[in-house]
Amino acid sequence: MDLKFNGKTALITGGSKGIGAAIATTLAEEGTQVAIVNRAGPEGPALVKTIESRGGKALFLAADLCHLENCHSVVEETLSAFGGLDIVINNAGVNDGVGIDAGPEEFLASIQRNLTHVYAVTHHSIAALRKSRGVIINIGSKVSVTGQGKTSGYAAAKGGILGLTREWAVDFAEHGIRVNAVLPAETWTPLYDKWLKTLPDPSAMKDQIEKMIPFEHRFTTTQELADMVVFLASPRSSHTTGQIIFVDGGYTHFDRKYTSSESCQTD
């Protein structure tokens, strides 16, 4: 299927690792110019090199988006490099474990890490998106609708992202801008792997989690997330806006009797 990107430009926050890297790579393969925003590190330049070796166009912008001036500068640098902006993908964030006992200052810091930059990057992008009749895709989390425990800041931020998705879908409809959110649940990323390796028995925990994922009893891949995001960003999804779409193998919404220990038998 031709997704009809035709040289469009995308800005992806948190774009050099995990889900963000898969989105950036897939967009580039479809002919999109990609600006990859992440904190400084070797992964970003390496990803740009990989994309360019395959004939794509990419730019790495090293920035900590907790500093609001960087939210403006990465948009300006993208516009300067590529001449326009068609797609904004707000992916940056981290489940930082800031719970109710952490206190108000840590809570505000978690909101800054996970929500404020979503508003700020979009704010600075909106003039360009109005010109291009562009697309915004926010990467949320199942925590925003299920709760998880011991992560008040992250849960509040991801809940805020859902609210902004619907709010912006209304605000920007008159400008032809579509806004949607994609929510992962248990997705296999380098960060997830790193967390499992801190546990006494990583293999047993991974097996336990996989048994709770109804469809095929396995983690969602970053490519599966990326494929949904790229489709929603494309003109092939031209009448889809204000939607909250789960890519999670049924983890969030299947009846819990399906994932009880008695039912979680794999072939």
Separation between Cα atoms, residue 103 and residue 202, nearest integer Å: 31
As given in the structure block, the two tokens for residue 227 are 């494929």
Separation between Cα atoms, residue 67 and residue 261, nearest integer Å: 45
Identify which of 88, 120, 70 has the alpha carbon closest to the alpha carbon of residue 9: 88
Report the 10 Å Cβ neighbour count for 223.
13
Q: Does the annotation count 154 as an active-site position?
A: yes
Answer yes or no: are the C-beta atoms of 54 and 28 closer than 8 Å: yes
Using DSSP, state whether 90 is helix, strand or coil: strand
Q: Which of 154, 192, 251, 258 is catalytic?
A: 154
Separation between Cα atoms, residue 26 and residue 114, nearest integer Å: 24
Name the residues annotated as catalytic. 154
